[in-house]
Amino acid sequence: MAITITSKGYGDVKKSVNYGSSTNFIFIASVVIFSSVMLVWLGLFAVNFSVQNQSNDLSDQRAKLEKEKNAVKPKETKLLDVQKRISQINKIIQTHPNGKYLFDTLAKGTRGDVKFRNARVDFINGTLTMDGEAATYPALSLQLLAFEPSFQNWIRSMQIKNIKRVVDASGSAGAVSFNLFITFDQKILLNKD
């Protein structure tokens, strides 16, 4: 059904407008616009759904990482505590007096023809008393000379007392017995060289 509108009046000019064919155009245009709006809305819905899923996945991953981090934290604390204790023990070992260094140094400087039988050490006062035997008097004097260069940095004083020749049951002269008194610098107890 076509509607024709004609104007009357205004002289000889007749204008007619036909609105019948534009109804199909308006219907088709409104269907296209509605379809476009629906497609855009569905596209936005799909994008929103996808973003929401990704957000949930990231939240799950974050929770998992937080759980792993919290599980590692006690182990990390324990490891740091162990490292701290190891450094404390190393510090104690480095500053703790050790008589081994003193006796290692004495062993390096002792000649083969001299033997020490007993040793008494006072680590607090830095004194060492040893009973020993030398094969001869010259061996004893050479032993004292052997102590001088290698121990000059830590021996404060050295005294020999009770030197005597041991005579065996048959009356023949044997080894020379002696007592050696050494006052030492306590740094030798810390020296590892």
Is the per-residue pLDDT at 71 higher than 90? Answer: no
Distance CA 84, CA 131 (A): 44
Among 2-11, 69-78, 99-108, 148-157, the range of highest mean pLDDT:
69-78
- What pLDDT is recorded for position 41? 93
- What pLDDT is recorded for position 13? 53
Q: Where do the domains of the chain lie?
A: 1-71, 99-189
Q: How confident is the model at residue 54 (pLDDT cuts 50, 70, 90)?
A: very high
Q: Would you identify the CATH topology of the domain 99-189?
A: Gyrase A; domain 2 (3.30.1360)
Q: What angle do CA 153, 104, 111 make, to 5 degrees?
A: 85
- What pLDDT is recorded for position 62? 92
Determine phi and psi for 140, rounding to 5 degrees. -65, -45
Distance CA 103, CA 98 (A): 10
Distance CA 23, CA 96 (A): 106
Cβ atoms 127, 108 nearer than 8 A: no
- What pLDDT is recorded for position 4? 54
Determine phi and psi for 89, rounding to 5 degrees. -65, -40
